[in-house]
Amino acid sequence: MFGKPISLFKILGFELKIDLSWIIIAVLITWSLAEGVFPLHNKSLSKFIYWIMGAAGAIGLFLSVIFHELSHSVVARKFGLPMKGITLFIFGGVAEMDEEPPNPKAEFYMAIAGPLASIFLGLFLLALNYLGNLWTWNVSVKMVLSYLGTINFILAGFNLIPAFPLDGGRVLRSFLWHRKKNLRSATRIASGIGIGFGTFLIFLGVFLVLAGGMIGGIWWVMIGIFLRNASKMSYQSILIKTSLEGEPIQRFMKENPIAVSPSTTIEDLVENFIYKYHFKMYPVMKGSNLSGCVNLEDIKTVPRSSWSEYTVDKLMKPCTSDNTIKITDNSVKALSVMSRTGNASLLVVDKKGNLAGMVILKDLLKFLSIKLNLGEMEE
């Protein structure tokens, strides 16, 4: 939401990232717990202790969301789905994946894993709180445990609402998918419910604002807007993927793409290639062999005064799965890689790793536009 997420660490092989918007929610949670929730239940502690408890509650919620999203990712990996990682943002977190689940069964287990994990964690924390009462633990510890146990049940309950793309909406989609044998139709229905629920939250928020609950009302409006947009985007994504499904990459591949040699100067690259052909990335060929790739971001690292001295071989990087795709892959995967990386073009390589061609985003979009005009992307 607020720019590129910040990578924190890896857990079980998944990269954990945090959007800067999460800092906003962390501060707000700490403040609301320290100034409102905890003092309301116990007025005997000092302000400093309440703020320590508020920070502990915010950190505990942070870890609870990670636990929830991590369960999705672990189950997805069991079904062979590649996961990019987990990103925390202002409305919670999301386990990021490039592909849709392969079948309704995988969808169901992936979706239900999150709420079940939150329920389990909630029971565990409330059990600790019960033991704390028996063993006379410090009251501040017990209050934090009680809050975190309760909030995990709330997290599970909200996510079980059958409004796509919430977990409950995904569970609903898995049942509809199994019954109708049609992912697009199932997504359309589940997304429609998600849009309706988001609209309800917006009206609820407006009502609360008019009734005097300014902060709570604004939050419900924001969540409603986010849910509506996420539901619409999810259905549009399915429309695009199903429209490209089965289309071989060769259909969009341009053979003999414009390439540069390792001895090309940066000045020559900019003047005679980038300004002329307008691509942001170029394959670097040494004879008939693909040596690497060079792009605009690489050029930016070289001072303008040194462009005539620097050659491409000093700047190029190895081609990776972020900028190349196999000729045996389909167009859906190409679009997924472009969406994930922000690249507008991908190099196509054959089974031996030799350059076969290039696929460009605008060609995929033109194809989709034609399908849309012909009515083939409508339900």
| Judgement on whether residues 278 and 313 belong to the same structural domain of the protein | yes
Residue 52 to residues 126, 139, 144: CA-CA distances in angstroms? 20, 13, 10
| Judgement on whether residues 61 and 147 belong to the same structural domain of the protein | yes
Q: What is the pLDDT of residue 89?
A: 67
Q: What is the pLDDT of residue 52?
A: 94
Q: Are strands 281-286 and 92-97 parallel, antiparallel or unpaired?
A: unpaired
Q: What is the pLDDT of residue 154?
A: 92
Residue spans of the chain under pLDDT 50: 1-2
Q: For the CA atoms of the chain, what is the radius of gyration? A: 25
Q: What is the pLDDT of residue 199?
A: 94
Structurally, how many domains does the chain consist of? Answer: 3
Q: What is the pLDDT of residue 20?
A: 75
Query: Hey, what are 86's tokens?
Result: 């987990």
Q: Is residue 133 part of a domain?
A: yes
| Judgement on whether residues 261 and 302 belong to the same structural domain of the protein | yes
Q: Is residue 172 part of a domain?
A: no
| Judgement on whether residues 204 and 266 belong to the same structural domain of the protein | no
CATH classification of the domain holding 280 = 3.10.580.10
Q: Is residue 291 part of a domain?
A: yes
Beta strands across the sheet bearing 355-360: 324-326, 345-349, 355-360
Q: What is the pLDDT of residue 43?
A: 83
CA 299, CA 285: separation in Å to the nearest integer?
18
| Judgement on whether residues 156 and 20 belong to the same structural domain of the protein | yes
Q: Is residue 264 part of a domain?
A: yes
Instruction: Supply the pTM of this predicted model.
Output: 0.75
Task: Tell me which residue range forms the domain holding 347.
Answer: 249-373
| Judgement on whether residues 222 and 283 belong to the same structural domain of the protein | no
Q: What is the pLDDT of residue 91?
A: 60
| Judgement on whether residues 254 and 238 belong to the same structural domain of the protein | no
| Judgement on whether residues 308 and 209 belong to the same structural domain of the protein | no
Q: What is the pLDDT of residue 375?
A: 65
| Judgement on whether residues 188 and 239 belong to the same structural domain of the protein | yes
- In the numeric block, the tokens 């429309």 are attached to 239
Q: What is the pLDDT of residue 178?
A: 92
CA 193, CA 191: separation in Å to the nearest integer?
5
CA 18, CA 57: separation in Å to the nearest integer?
18
pLDDT digits (tens, 9 = 90+) for 97-135: 767 788 999 999 999 999 999 999 999 999 999 998 888
What does 80-149 look like in DSSP terms, one character per residue?
Answer: T--EEEEEEETTEEEEEESS--SSHHHHHHHHHHHHHHHHHHHHHHHHHHHHHHHTT--HHHHHHHHHHH
| Judgement on whether residues 232 and 287 belong to the same structural domain of the protein | no
